[in-house]
Every structure is written in structure tokens, then in C-alpha cells.
Structure 1
Amino acid sequence: MALQKTLSLLLLLLLTLLGLRLVKLFYGETPYEKFQRQHVDSEESGDTDLYCNTMMEKRGMTSGHCKDFNTFIHENIRTINNICKNPHIRCKRGTMNCHEGVVKVTDCKHTERYQPPTCNYQAWASTRRVVIACEDNPLVPVHLDS
């Protein structure tokens, strides 16, 4: 009985890893890598419009269209990952895999004065509450919910 349970867990782990590999092959990055590309910048504390204009283009969010709104979190990835250890709360889409924490951020809002390839953003830097959806084992951030 214990052997069957162990084999079942190993099969589940293998299928999970295969699924993550397929996501990476199809999209070129895992959801965790995409989250980091779109939302993590531990090097800077961007508080200027130039920061947003530069980062949005550098991180690939102005190709084909200007992403309307994006938040960059200015904490190290370990601090952000630790938010996933906070108690579960309900996400906007109704699932229960969200967690909240307070971090330094820069919010970038598209001003709509320009269209690709020259997107223009306005920056707001602050320390505020964020809600992050976390998945996998161990839990890692995959979506910024607020």
C-alpha cells in the first residue's frame, strides 16, 4: 500500500514537471519566469516616467501594443516569494491561491498619447499592499492580482 502511494506521488510529480516543461517550451518561459520579467525589479526604485518607458520596452510589454498598466516590485525575489507563505485570500477571479503583502512598487500607466513602438507611461512610486497569485510546490508567484 505504501509503495503504491509512493509511486502515485512520483507519477504526479513527473506529470507536474512535464506540464511545466511544456508550458516553458510553448511560451518560452514558465509562469514564474513571466511574473519575474513583468513585475520584479529589485535593482531600481523607479519613480520617473522615463523609468516606466524604459522598463516597459525592455521587458517586452510594448511590442504590438502598449500594455495599459503594470506594476514593478522593488524587492528581492526571496521577499516576494515569501508573500506566498502568507495566509490564502480570495483572488479577483474567485480562486483561493492569492496572498497579500506590503512592498515598494512603481506603477506604470499608459498615457495613451503615443502608440507602439513609442509607448509613453506615467510613473507612481509607493509602498503599498499587493495581492499575488501563487502556484506550484513550493509556492511561487505567477500573477499580480492587484
Structure 2
Amino acid sequence: MMALQKTLSLLLLLLLTLLGLGLVQPSYGETMYQRFLRQHVDSTQKGGTSSYCNKMMQTRGMTRPRCKQFNTFIHADIGAINDICEAQNIQCKNGKMNCHEGVVRVTDCKLTASSPRNCRYQGQGSSRHVVIACDGDPLVPVHFDG
């Protein structure tokens, strides 16, 4: 029991240290750009599987307080995604004209089952057209529109 308390204390200290250094941020303090990166960008993996989706949706905080129904991860570096923001403006689903389209490798994660604290996803990888909304100066991605 004492060892468990010591481990939990060390983990809490580590989390507080990381928060203090700005390496981990609580979701309520995110900019729209940071939220976009957390929810939609993974340049380190190819994805494409259900196990990938199950892991990433949980790791990236999209299973609390409830399971997110659908999410897309883009498998490109942020430079390539920022380049999409330089493409011609097109209309977003909300009617604004700050969306841009490009082709990238993605993994779509669709919720297939959920119970308290257990979200299960089906993953499918492909290369396809995506639409993202961009804002700021310079333009950066802030919303995945489709």
C-alpha cells in the first residue's frame, strides 16, 4: 500500500512538473490551433486500424466525458497541413469562407460501441480530400470540416 502511494505521489509530481513547463496543457487552456493538433494530427504513425483508433482516441482525450462519435487523424507533418491553408478559399459547412481543401493520408475513427469508460472504434485508413478551416496571421488550421 505504501509503495502505491509513493508511485501515485511521484506521478502527480511529474504531471505538475510537466504542466509547469508547458509540455502538457489541460484541454480548457488550449487555443483552437492546439486543439486541432491534439484532435487531428499524428505525423508519426500510419494508423488505419481499429486498435490505432482505440488507443489514440483515449490518449488524445476524446473518450471523456463521453465517447466522440467520429474523428479523423491526419498523417502528415504540420508543414504539409499548413500548406493546405494556402490553397484557395472554399465555403465551410457553417457558411464561412475560411476553408481549404487538400489531399492527405488519414485514419477515420468511427464509434462502434460505448459503455461507461469504454469507447470502441473502427478505424479505416485512406488517402483522400480533406477540408480544414484556417485562421490567423499566418494562417493555421483551427477546425476539421470534412
* TM-score bucket (shorter structure): 0.7 to 0.9
Note the residue ranges of structure 1 that are not aligned, 5 or more in a row: 1-23
Counting aligned pairs with the same residue, the percent is: 59
Dislocated runs of 4+, deviation >2 Å: 24-27, 113-116
How far does residue 117 in structure 1 lie from its aligned partner after superposition?
A: 1.1
Q: Distance in 2 between matches of 1:29 and 1:49?
A: 27
Query: What do residues 43-96 of structure 1 show as CA deviations (whole Å, max 9, x unaligned)?
Result: 001121110000000000001100000000000000001100000000000000
1:115–1:26 distance in 2 versus 1, CA, 3 Å: closer
Match of 2:119, SS state, is coil
1:26–1:63 distance in 2 versus 1, CA, 3 Å: closer
How far does residue 25 in structure 1 lie from its aligned partner after superposition?
A: 9.7
Does structure 1 conserve the Cα–Cα contact (< 8 Å) formed by 2:48 and 2:106?
A: no
Whether 1:32 and 2:33 are equivalent positions in the alignment is yes
Query: What do residues 90-145 of structure 1 show as CA deviations (whole Å, max 9, x unaligned)?
Result: 0000000000000000000000x222311000001000000000000000000000
Note the residue ranges of structure 2 that are not aligned, 5 or more in a row: 1-24
Whether 1:129 and 2:129 are equivalent positions in the alignment is yes
Match of 2:97, SS state, is coil
| Structure with the higher strand share, 1 or 2 | 2
2:92 is aligned to 91
Does structure 2 conserve the Cα–Cα contact (< 8 Å) formed by 1:83 and 1:101?
A: yes
1:62–1:98 distance in 2 versus 1, CA, 3 Å: same
